[in-house]
């Protein structure tokens, strides 16, 4: 398809491609565009990916374009998330990275540069249009971990060190440039806003249903842990809202990734093709200003298993804290003053249960192999079955196949046992 024949693309998409081509030095009227699907089935839940080739002569630029789903229900659900990712890529992350650049860190020092290059991002709420255009990390041999399997220590270690540097940027900037950092404080949790736009109260019903399902992974005679979860069953939404409350996390709130699980992390590997050497955080649709521990417990309790946590949970927390401490020092801060270990422990006690609350919602999807995933459009549209008596029934298809159910039972029960053992619930 030539550059002047973009009719196959939505209007906002073709305009975005034209702008990227111009900014990257392609000649109007001489370059051509070609596209193909940009993801495997099951890789993404919130949007559709299109891989686009911009070609002129012997020059080629390959970009990955993230678009709102065509399905109307999912589009309505996803537009606010796209708007958030647009702000993350175009305002929040550039602000933090500019602050880091101004520090002129020595070349040998690690820095936070673990996001894909974003060429373009724009969301228009009125016309329900959005497009995010990024580099395709797969061309640099980055790849995802298979979400259905728990990650090993080396992958988790690399992520913990990366999150430490990401969070250090907020600690340093809010201390040294509070006025410039002020816009980050406004970047509060998107989930609470989405819940307010839930007229049928679908989410509380779904959360209660998922909590009952989690309870059923425990032995019948495990009355102590069952009792702990039963106290949460009808309070899941309030508990989530309490965990993501940035004011409750102050003075330690930071900009976090917000959706930190294995499908939103890509790894590049050493020559042995086994050891991860580099990492990128993708999909910033749930990024937020909140407690730093939210990213940690989200990943650790959803993407590792009980066995690994039994010997490595405290190690992973230490790796995170050491990385944060070192990067904060390099940025001119002081961890003992700004985020002492005692405060870190308090944040874990206060917000650690968030890992379980999220696990109840996403572990069924994580434990379902891609070849067994239901159709996302049908799953989302058929989520609530309306009963004549008004007591609507929530039907969540994920994690129900035989293979997925076995994985889910093991991972979920392990998550609950660890939450109780650590005193988070």
Q: Exposed, middle or buried: residue 16 (CB in 10 Å: 0-12, 13-18, 19+)?
A: buried
Question: Are 82 and 132 within 8 A, CB to CB?
Answer: yes
DSSP H or E run through 120: strand 118-124
pLDDT digit string, tens, across residues 366-377: 998 887 776 665
Q: Is the peptide bond before 391 cis (omega within 30 degrees of 0)?
A: no
Q: What is the CATH number of the domain that holds 235?
A: 3.90.1200
> What does the alpha-carbon distance between residue 37 and residue 35 come to, in Å, rounded to a whole number?
7
What's the rounded mean pLDDT across residues 394-413? 82
Q: Which pLDDT score, from 0 to 100, does residue 41 have?
A: 44
Residue in 169, 167, 172, 112 with CA at minimum distance from that of residue 321: 167
Structural domains counted in the chain: 1
Inform me whether the pLDDT recorded for 381 exceeds 90: no
Range of the domain at 369: 142-422
Statement: residue 46 has pLDDT above 70: no
Quick one: what percent of the chain has pLDDT higher than 70? 88
Give the mean model confidence (pLDDT) for residues 176-203. Answer: 84
pLDDT band, residue 391 (cuts 50/70/90): low
- How many whole angstroms separate alpha carbon 116 and alpha carbon 135? 6
Largest CA distance in the chain: 72
Q: What is the average pLDDT across 207-231?
A: 96
Q: Give the Cα separation of 352 and 318 in Å (integer).
A: 16
Quick: pLDDT tens for 234-261. Answer: 999 999 999 999 999 999 999 999 999 9
For 105-124, what is the mean pLDDT?
Answer: 96
CA distance between the termini of the chain: 56
The pLDDT of residue 308: 97
- Quick count: other Cβ atoms within 10 Å of Cβ 246? 19
Give a yes or no: residue 270 inside a domain.
Answer: yes
| Per-residue pLDDT at 76 | 80
Express as a percent the part of the chain with pLDDT over 90.
Answer: 74
Lookup result for tokens 């490595």: 312
In whole angstroms, give the CA distance from residue 102 to residue 88.
20
- Measured distance CA(112)–CA(125) in Å, rounded: 31
Q: What per-residue confidence (pLDDT) applies to 5?
A: 41
The stretch 310-336 carries a mean pLDDT of 98
What 3-state class would DSSP assign to 136?
coil
Q: Are 68 and 130 in contact, with CB atoms under 8 Å apart?
A: yes
Classify residue 128: in a domain, yes or no.
no
Q: How many CA atoms lie within 13 A of 389 on its CB side?
A: 2
pLDDT, residue 395, reads 56
- Contact indicator for 54, 17 with CB cutoff of 8 Å: yes
Tokens 């005679």 label which residue? 221
223: in domain: yes
Q: Is residue 49 part of a domain?
A: no
- Whether the link from the prior residue into 385 is cis, omega within 30° of 0, is no
Among candidate residues 191, 87, 63, the one with its CA nearest the CA of residue 139: 63
pLDDT of residue 166: 98
Whether 139 has a pLDDT exceeding 80, the answer reads yes
| Cβ neighbours of 395 (radius 10 Å) | 13
What pLDDT is attached to residue 294?
A: 98
Q: Give residue 87's Cα distance to chain centre.
A: 15
In a domain, 188, yes or no: yes
pLDDT for the residue 396:
62
Q: What is the dihedral of CA 412, 343, 287, 139, to 10 degrees?
A: -80
- Report the C-alpha dihedral over residues 160, 161, 167, 168, rounded to 10 degrees: 150
Provide the token pair at 119: 């060429």
Average pLDDT, the chain: 90
DSSP, collapsed to helix, strand or coil, labels residue 24 as: coil
pLDDT tens column, 327-355: 999 999 999 999 999 999 999 999 999 99
Residue 174 in any domain: the answer is yes
Most confident of 3-17, 47-61, 296-310: 296-310
Residue 45 has pLDDT above 60, yes or no: no
Strand partners, 130: 123
**Residue 305: inside a domain:** yes
CA pair distance 136, 29, nearest whole angstrom: 24
Q: Is 64 among the domain residues?
A: no
């Amino acid at each position: 398809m030539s550059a002047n024949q973009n009719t196959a693309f939505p209007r906002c998409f073709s305009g975005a491609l034209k702008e990227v081509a111009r900014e990257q030095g392609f000649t109007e009227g001489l370059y051509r565009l070609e596209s193909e699907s940009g993801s495997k089935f099951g890789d993404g839940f919130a949007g559709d990916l299109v891989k686009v080739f911009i070609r002129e002569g012997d020059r080629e630029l390959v970009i990955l374009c993230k678009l709102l789903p065509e399905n109307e229900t999912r589009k309505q659900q996803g537009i606010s998330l796209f708007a958030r990712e647009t702000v993350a890529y175009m305002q929040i992350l550039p602000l933090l990275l500019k602050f880091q650049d101004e520090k002129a860190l020595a070349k040998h020092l690690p820095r936070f540069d673990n996001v894909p290059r974003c060429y373009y991002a724009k969301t228009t709420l009125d016309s329900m249009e959005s497009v995010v255009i990024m580099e395709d990390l797969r061309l640099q041999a980055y790849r995802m971990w298979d979400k259905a399997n728990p990650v090993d220590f080396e992958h988790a270690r690399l992520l913990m060190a990366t999150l430490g540097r990401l969070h250090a940027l907020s600690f340093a900037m809010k201390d040294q440039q509070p006025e410039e950092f002020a816009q980050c404080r406004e970047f509060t949790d998107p989930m609470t806003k989405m819940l307010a736009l839930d007229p049928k109260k679908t989410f509380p019903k779904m959360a209660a249903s998922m909590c009952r399902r989690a309870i059923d992974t425990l032995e019948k005679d495990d009355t102590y842990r069952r009792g702990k979860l039963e106290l949460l069953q009808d309070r899941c939404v309030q508990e989530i809202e309490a965990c993501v409350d940035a004011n409750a996390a102050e003075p330690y709130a930071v900009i976090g990734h917000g959706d930190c699980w294995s499908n939103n992390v890509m790894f590049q590997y050493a020559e042995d093709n086994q050891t991860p050497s580099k990492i990128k955080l993708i999909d910033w649709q749930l990024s937020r200003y909140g407690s730093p521990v939210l990213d940690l417990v989200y990943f650790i309790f959803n993407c590792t298993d009980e066995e690994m946590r039994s010997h490595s949970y405290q190690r992973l927390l230490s790796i995170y804290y050491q990385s944060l401490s070192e990067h904060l020092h390099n940025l001119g801060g002081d961890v003992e003053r700004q985020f002492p270990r005692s405060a870190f422990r308090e944040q874990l006690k206060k917000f650690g249960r968030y890992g379980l609350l999220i696990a109840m919602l996403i572990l069924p999807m994580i434990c379902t192999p891609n070849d067994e995933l239901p159709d996302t459009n049908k799953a989302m549209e058929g989520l609530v079955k309306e009963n004549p008596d008004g007591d609507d029934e929530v039907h969540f298809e994920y994690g129900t196949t035989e293979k997925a159910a076995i994985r889910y039972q093991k991972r979920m029960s392990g998550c609950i046992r660890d939450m109780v053992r650590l005193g988070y619930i």
